[in-house]
Structure 1
Amino acid sequence: MQTDKTESLLHIARSIVAKVPYCMAITVTEAGHANARIVEPYSLSEHWSVRFLTGRQCRKVQEMQHAGRMTLSYQCDEDHAYVTLLGQAKVLDHDPALKSTLWRKNSDLWFPGGPFDPDVVVIELRVEQIELWCLKLGVAPPPLGLQAAILKRDGAEWITLVG
Protein backbone atom coordinates (compact mmCIF):
# COMPACT_ATOMS: atom_id res chain seq x y z
CA MET A 1 0.00 0.00 0.00
CA GLN A 2 1.42 3.38 -1.03
CA THR A 3 1.69 6.02 1.65
CA ASP A 4 0.09 9.47 1.42
CA LYS A 5 3.62 10.92 1.06
CA THR A 6 4.34 8.63 -1.89
CA GLU A 7 0.99 9.47 -3.53
CA SER A 8 1.72 13.17 -3.09
CA LEU A 9 5.18 12.86 -4.65
CA LEU A 10 3.78 10.86 -7.58
CA HIS A 11 1.14 13.53 -8.13
CA ILE A 12 3.75 16.31 -8.07
CA ALA A 13 6.03 14.41 -10.46
CA ARG A 14 3.18 13.79 -12.89
CA SER A 15 2.10 17.46 -12.79
CA ILE A 16 5.65 18.70 -13.48
CA VAL A 17 6.14 16.27 -16.39
CA ALA A 18 2.80 17.43 -17.87
CA LYS A 19 4.08 21.03 -17.99
CA VAL A 20 7.24 20.24 -19.95
CA PRO A 21 6.90 19.73 -23.72
CA TYR A 22 10.48 18.52 -24.30
CA CYS A 23 12.89 16.51 -22.19
CA MET A 24 16.37 15.06 -22.39
CA ALA A 25 16.64 11.39 -23.35
CA ILE A 26 19.81 9.95 -21.86
CA THR A 27 21.41 6.70 -22.94
CA VAL A 28 24.75 5.07 -22.20
CA THR A 29 27.26 3.88 -24.80
CA GLU A 30 28.99 0.51 -24.66
CA ALA A 31 32.04 2.39 -23.34
CA GLY A 32 29.96 3.77 -20.47
CA HIS A 33 29.62 7.37 -21.71
CA ALA A 34 26.27 9.12 -21.27
CA ASN A 35 24.67 10.80 -24.27
CA ALA A 36 21.78 13.24 -23.90
CA ARG A 37 19.52 14.69 -26.55
CA ILE A 38 16.17 16.45 -26.66
CA VAL A 39 12.97 14.56 -27.49
CA GLU A 40 9.29 15.45 -27.59
CA PRO A 41 7.58 12.77 -25.51
CA TYR A 42 3.89 12.05 -25.23
CA SER A 43 2.00 12.25 -21.96
CA LEU A 44 2.75 9.81 -19.19
CA SER A 45 0.42 6.85 -19.27
CA GLU A 46 -1.65 5.91 -16.25
CA HIS A 47 0.85 3.09 -15.64
CA TRP A 48 3.94 5.32 -15.81
CA SER A 49 5.22 4.67 -19.29
CA VAL A 50 6.26 7.28 -21.84
CA ARG A 51 6.51 7.03 -25.62
CA PHE A 52 8.12 9.12 -28.33
CA LEU A 53 8.89 8.81 -32.03
CA THR A 54 12.41 8.65 -33.37
CA GLY A 55 14.41 7.33 -36.30
CA ARG A 56 15.58 3.71 -36.26
CA GLN A 57 19.12 4.77 -37.27
CA CYS A 58 19.54 7.27 -34.41
CA ARG A 59 22.35 6.50 -32.01
CA LYS A 60 19.92 6.68 -29.07
CA VAL A 61 18.11 3.65 -30.49
CA GLN A 62 21.29 1.58 -30.73
CA GLU A 63 22.45 2.67 -27.26
CA MET A 64 19.04 2.03 -25.72
CA GLN A 65 18.79 -1.40 -27.34
CA HIS A 66 22.28 -2.32 -26.10
CA ALA A 67 21.59 -1.29 -22.50
CA GLY A 68 17.83 -1.93 -22.45
CA ARG A 69 17.50 1.23 -20.37
CA MET A 70 16.94 4.94 -20.80
CA THR A 71 16.50 8.03 -18.67
CA LEU A 72 14.20 10.95 -19.45
CA SER A 73 14.90 14.17 -17.59
CA TYR A 74 12.38 17.04 -17.46
CA GLN A 75 13.30 20.53 -16.24
CA CYS A 76 10.51 22.93 -15.24
CA ASP A 77 11.94 26.41 -14.68
CA GLU A 78 8.51 27.77 -13.71
CA ASP A 79 8.42 25.51 -10.63
CA HIS A 80 12.19 25.46 -10.01
CA ALA A 81 11.88 21.72 -10.47
CA TYR A 82 13.05 18.65 -12.28
CA VAL A 83 11.78 15.11 -12.68
CA THR A 84 13.95 12.27 -13.92
CA LEU A 85 12.33 9.03 -15.07
CA LEU A 86 14.54 5.94 -15.24
CA GLY A 87 13.62 2.53 -16.53
CA GLN A 88 13.49 -0.17 -19.15
CA ALA A 89 13.12 1.00 -22.72
CA LYS A 90 12.19 -0.84 -25.87
CA VAL A 91 11.53 -0.20 -29.54
CA LEU A 92 7.96 -0.67 -30.73
CA ASP A 93 8.13 -0.83 -34.51
CA HIS A 94 5.64 -3.48 -35.61
CA ASP A 95 2.48 -1.42 -35.24
CA PRO A 96 1.92 1.19 -37.97
CA ALA A 97 -1.39 2.16 -36.35
CA LEU A 98 0.45 3.10 -33.14
CA LYS A 99 2.85 5.33 -35.08
CA SER A 100 -0.13 6.97 -36.77
CA THR A 101 -1.85 7.71 -33.46
CA LEU A 102 1.35 9.31 -32.13
CA TRP A 103 1.95 11.38 -35.28
CA ARG A 104 1.94 15.15 -34.71
CA LYS A 105 1.64 17.99 -37.21
CA ASN A 106 5.35 18.76 -36.92
CA SER A 107 6.46 15.09 -37.17
CA ASP A 108 6.85 15.50 -40.95
CA LEU A 109 9.78 17.85 -40.31
CA TRP A 110 11.86 14.98 -38.93
CA PHE A 111 10.19 12.08 -40.71
CA PRO A 112 9.19 13.15 -44.23
CA GLY A 113 8.26 9.54 -45.08
CA GLY A 114 5.29 9.72 -42.73
CA PRO A 115 4.21 7.36 -39.97
CA PHE A 116 4.41 4.29 -42.22
CA ASP A 117 8.10 4.88 -42.99
CA PRO A 118 9.95 1.78 -41.69
CA ASP A 119 12.68 4.07 -40.28
CA VAL A 120 10.16 5.62 -37.85
CA VAL A 121 9.97 3.77 -34.55
CA VAL A 122 8.31 4.31 -31.20
CA ILE A 123 10.43 4.19 -28.06
CA GLU A 124 8.61 3.23 -24.88
CA LEU A 125 10.09 3.80 -21.45
CA ARG A 126 8.55 1.83 -18.58
CA VAL A 127 9.39 3.93 -15.55
CA GLU A 128 10.97 2.05 -12.63
CA GLN A 129 12.37 4.97 -10.66
CA ILE A 130 11.52 8.65 -10.30
CA GLU A 131 13.77 11.41 -9.01
CA LEU A 132 11.98 14.62 -8.10
CA TRP A 133 13.06 18.01 -6.81
CA CYS A 134 10.71 20.98 -6.67
CA LEU A 135 11.67 24.10 -4.78
CA LYS A 136 8.27 25.75 -5.42
CA LEU A 137 6.40 22.91 -3.66
CA GLY A 138 9.01 22.18 -1.01
CA VAL A 139 10.15 18.84 -2.41
CA ALA A 140 13.80 19.26 -1.49
CA PRO A 141 14.84 16.61 1.05
CA PRO A 142 17.43 17.50 3.68
CA PRO A 143 20.14 18.53 3.82
CA LEU A 144 18.69 21.76 2.46
CA GLY A 145 17.58 20.30 -0.86
CA LEU A 146 20.94 18.87 -1.87
CA GLN A 147 19.31 15.63 -2.93
CA ALA A 148 16.14 14.65 -4.76
CA ALA A 149 13.15 12.68 -3.56
CA ILE A 150 13.44 9.17 -4.98
CA LEU A 151 10.56 6.79 -5.65
CA LYS A 152 10.99 3.23 -6.85
CA ARG A 153 8.49 0.88 -8.41
CA ASP A 154 7.87 -2.26 -6.39
CA GLY A 155 5.62 -4.41 -8.57
CA ALA A 156 2.48 -2.37 -9.16
CA GLU A 157 3.18 -0.06 -6.20
CA TRP A 158 5.60 2.80 -5.61
CA ILE A 159 7.72 3.28 -2.50
CA THR A 160 9.55 6.40 -1.38
CA LEU A 161 13.25 5.75 -0.81
CA VAL A 162 14.20 9.38 -0.11
CA GLY A 163 11.70 12.09 0.40
Structure 2
Amino acid sequence: MEAKEQKNGQLTKVRDMVDDIRVAMMTTVDEQGNLVSRPMAAMQMDENGTLWFFTKRTSPKVEQIDQNESRVNLSFADVSDADYVSISGTATEVDDKAKIDELWDPQVKAWFPEGKEDPELILLKVHTQMAEYWNSSSSKMVRFFEQAKAALTDTVPDMGENKKVYN
Protein backbone atom coordinates (compact mmCIF):
# COMPACT_ATOMS: atom_id res chain seq x y z
CA MET A 1 0.00 0.00 0.00
CA GLU A 2 2.89 2.35 0.81
CA ALA A 3 4.33 2.10 -2.74
CA LYS A 4 0.92 2.98 -4.24
CA GLU A 5 0.59 6.02 -1.95
CA GLN A 6 4.10 7.14 -2.90
CA LYS A 7 3.27 6.76 -6.62
CA ASN A 8 0.02 8.72 -6.13
CA GLY A 9 1.96 11.46 -4.31
CA GLN A 10 4.49 11.67 -7.15
CA LEU A 11 1.70 11.73 -9.75
CA THR A 12 0.06 14.55 -7.76
CA LYS A 13 3.39 16.41 -7.87
CA VAL A 14 3.50 15.96 -11.67
CA ARG A 15 -0.12 17.15 -11.98
CA ASP A 16 0.58 20.24 -9.86
CA MET A 17 3.61 21.11 -11.98
CA VAL A 18 1.63 20.61 -15.23
CA ASP A 19 -1.18 22.81 -13.87
CA ASP A 20 1.34 25.57 -13.10
CA ILE A 21 3.17 25.37 -16.44
CA ARG A 22 0.17 24.40 -18.61
CA VAL A 23 1.75 24.70 -22.09
CA ALA A 24 3.60 21.65 -23.36
CA MET A 25 5.60 20.90 -26.43
CA MET A 26 3.84 17.82 -27.86
CA THR A 27 6.18 15.62 -29.88
CA THR A 28 5.00 13.15 -32.51
CA VAL A 29 6.74 11.33 -35.38
CA ASP A 30 6.04 12.44 -38.96
CA GLU A 31 5.83 10.23 -42.05
CA GLN A 32 9.60 10.57 -42.67
CA GLY A 33 10.42 9.51 -39.10
CA ASN A 34 11.28 13.03 -37.91
CA LEU A 35 10.36 14.11 -34.40
CA VAL A 36 7.99 17.07 -34.66
CA SER A 37 6.99 19.28 -31.72
CA ARG A 38 4.40 22.00 -31.32
CA PRO A 39 3.02 23.96 -28.34
CA MET A 40 -0.24 22.68 -26.89
CA ALA A 41 -2.21 23.98 -23.89
CA ALA A 42 -3.08 21.22 -21.44
CA MET A 43 -6.70 21.80 -20.48
CA GLN A 44 -6.68 19.23 -17.68
CA MET A 45 -4.60 16.48 -16.09
CA ASP A 46 -6.81 14.25 -13.98
CA GLU A 47 -5.89 12.17 -10.92
CA ASN A 48 -5.13 9.16 -13.16
CA GLY A 49 -2.54 11.07 -15.19
CA THR A 50 -4.76 11.56 -18.24
CA LEU A 51 -4.18 14.86 -20.05
CA TRP A 52 -6.69 16.58 -22.31
CA PHE A 53 -5.99 18.93 -25.23
CA PHE A 54 -8.17 20.60 -27.87
CA THR A 55 -7.07 20.06 -31.46
CA LYS A 56 -8.31 20.14 -35.03
CA ARG A 57 -9.60 16.91 -36.48
CA THR A 58 -7.52 17.43 -39.65
CA SER A 59 -4.28 18.60 -38.03
CA PRO A 60 -1.06 16.82 -39.04
CA LYS A 61 -0.46 15.71 -35.45
CA VAL A 62 -3.68 13.66 -35.48
CA GLU A 63 -2.52 11.80 -38.59
CA GLN A 64 0.96 11.34 -37.09
CA ILE A 65 -0.53 9.92 -33.90
CA ASP A 66 -2.68 7.51 -35.93
CA GLN A 67 0.32 6.33 -37.97
CA ASN A 68 2.78 5.87 -35.10
CA GLU A 69 1.09 3.65 -32.52
CA SER A 70 -0.36 6.70 -30.75
CA ARG A 71 2.97 7.44 -29.02
CA VAL A 72 3.60 11.04 -27.92
CA ASN A 73 5.90 12.93 -25.60
CA LEU A 74 4.93 16.07 -23.74
CA SER A 75 7.56 18.40 -22.30
CA PHE A 76 6.70 21.20 -19.90
CA ALA A 77 9.26 23.81 -18.79
CA ASP A 78 9.23 26.70 -16.35
CA VAL A 79 12.79 27.92 -16.75
CA SER A 80 12.49 30.74 -14.21
CA ASP A 81 11.62 28.28 -11.42
CA ALA A 82 13.76 25.42 -12.81
CA ASP A 83 10.72 23.12 -13.01
CA TYR A 84 10.55 20.59 -15.86
CA VAL A 85 8.27 17.67 -16.70
CA SER A 86 8.54 15.08 -19.48
CA ILE A 87 5.59 12.76 -20.08
CA SER A 88 5.54 9.76 -22.43
CA GLY A 89 2.23 8.25 -23.26
CA THR A 90 -0.35 7.29 -25.82
CA ALA A 91 -2.81 9.67 -27.43
CA THR A 92 -6.28 9.01 -28.74
CA GLU A 93 -8.78 11.24 -30.48
CA VAL A 94 -12.02 11.81 -28.60
CA ASP A 95 -15.13 13.44 -30.01
CA ASP A 96 -17.14 13.92 -26.80
CA LYS A 97 -19.39 16.99 -26.59
CA ALA A 98 -19.84 16.67 -22.82
CA LYS A 99 -16.07 16.63 -22.25
CA ILE A 100 -15.63 19.55 -24.67
CA ASP A 101 -18.25 21.49 -22.66
CA GLU A 102 -16.46 20.62 -19.41
CA LEU A 103 -13.04 21.76 -20.66
CA TRP A 104 -14.12 24.71 -22.80
CA ASP A 105 -12.36 28.00 -22.19
CA PRO A 106 -13.35 31.15 -24.14
CA GLN A 107 -9.71 31.62 -25.21
CA VAL A 108 -9.94 28.40 -27.23
CA LYS A 109 -12.31 30.20 -29.61
CA ALA A 110 -9.28 31.91 -31.19
CA TRP A 111 -8.43 28.52 -32.75
CA PHE A 112 -12.02 27.40 -33.23
CA PRO A 113 -14.03 30.40 -34.51
CA GLU A 114 -17.30 28.46 -34.49
CA GLY A 115 -16.85 27.72 -30.80
CA LYS A 116 -17.77 24.39 -29.27
CA GLU A 117 -19.80 23.54 -32.36
CA ASP A 118 -16.82 23.87 -34.72
CA PRO A 119 -16.79 20.69 -36.85
CA GLU A 120 -12.97 20.61 -36.67
CA LEU A 121 -12.92 20.54 -32.84
CA ILE A 122 -11.95 17.29 -31.15
CA LEU A 123 -10.01 16.35 -28.05
CA LEU A 124 -6.72 14.56 -27.70
CA LYS A 125 -6.61 12.35 -24.64
CA VAL A 126 -3.09 11.44 -23.54
CA HIS A 127 -2.65 8.56 -21.13
CA THR A 128 0.55 8.97 -19.11
CA GLN A 129 2.72 5.87 -19.13
CA MET A 130 5.80 7.47 -17.59
CA ALA A 131 6.57 10.94 -16.31
CA GLU A 132 9.84 12.37 -15.15
CA TYR A 133 10.16 15.65 -13.33
CA TRP A 134 12.87 17.96 -12.14
CA ASN A 135 11.85 20.41 -9.45
CA SER A 136 13.98 22.97 -7.69
CA SER A 137 12.62 24.61 -4.59
CA SER A 138 15.71 26.82 -4.42
CA SER A 139 16.00 30.40 -5.61
CA LYS A 140 18.05 31.32 -8.67
CA MET A 141 20.82 32.57 -6.42
CA VAL A 142 21.00 29.26 -4.51
CA ARG A 143 21.01 27.30 -7.79
CA PHE A 144 23.81 29.52 -9.11
CA PHE A 145 25.78 28.97 -5.88
CA GLU A 146 25.28 25.18 -6.13
CA GLN A 147 26.59 25.20 -9.72
CA ALA A 148 29.60 27.34 -8.82
CA LYS A 149 30.41 25.18 -5.78
CA ALA A 150 30.16 22.00 -7.86
CA ALA A 151 32.46 23.43 -10.52
CA LEU A 152 35.06 24.34 -7.89
CA THR A 153 34.86 21.03 -6.03
CA ASP A 154 34.41 18.67 -9.04
CA THR A 155 31.08 17.45 -7.65
CA VAL A 156 27.55 17.35 -9.02
CA PRO A 157 25.33 20.26 -7.92
CA ASP A 158 22.19 19.61 -5.91
CA MET A 159 19.63 21.20 -8.22
CA GLY A 160 16.53 19.80 -6.55
CA GLU A 161 14.26 16.79 -6.88
CA ASN A 162 14.28 14.42 -9.87
CA LYS A 163 11.85 11.47 -10.00
CA LYS A 164 10.41 9.05 -12.53
CA VAL A 165 6.76 8.11 -12.10
CA TYR A 166 5.33 5.05 -13.85
CA ASN A 167 1.60 4.89 -14.35
Larger Rg belongs to: 2
Whole-angstrom CA distance in 2 between matches of 1:17 and 1:96: 24
> Which residue is equivalent to 1:60?
61
Q: Does 1:152 align with 2:154?
A: no
CA contact (8 A) 1:71 1:85 kept: yes
Shift of residue 11, structure 1, vs aligned partner: 3.5
* Counterpart secondary structure, 2:106: coil
Give the TM-score of the pair, scaled to structure 2. 0.77
Q: Identity rate of aligned residues, in percent?
A: 25
Shift of residue 8, structure 1, vs aligned partner: 4.6
Q: Deviations over 1:126-148 (max 9, x none)?
A: 1010011123379xxx96579x5
> Which residue is equivalent to 2:97?
96
Structure 1, 106-115 or 121-130: larger mean CA deviation: 106-115
Whole-angstrom CA distance in 2 between matches of 1:88 and 1:132: 18
CA contact (8 A) 2:44 2:53 kept: no
Cα RMSD (Å): 2.6
Shift of the 11–79 alpha-carbon distance from structure 1 to 2, 3 Å rule, reads: farther
Q: Does 1:80 align with 2:85?
A: no
Shift of residue 64, structure 1, vs aligned partner: 1.3
Shift of the 30–143 alpha-carbon distance from structure 1 to 2, 3 Å rule, reads: farther
Give the TM-score of the pair, scaled to structure 1. 0.79
CA contact (8 A) 2:15 2:46 kept: no
Give the structure with the larger helix fraction: 2
Query: Structure 1: which 5+ runs fail to align?
Result: 154-163
CA contact (8 A) 1:24 1:73 kept: yes
Instruction: Give the ranges of 4+ consecutive aligned residues of structure 1 lying more than 6 Å apart after TM superposition.
Output: none
> Which residue is equivalent to 1:119?
120
Whole-angstrom CA distance in 1 between matches of 2:17 and 2:80: 10
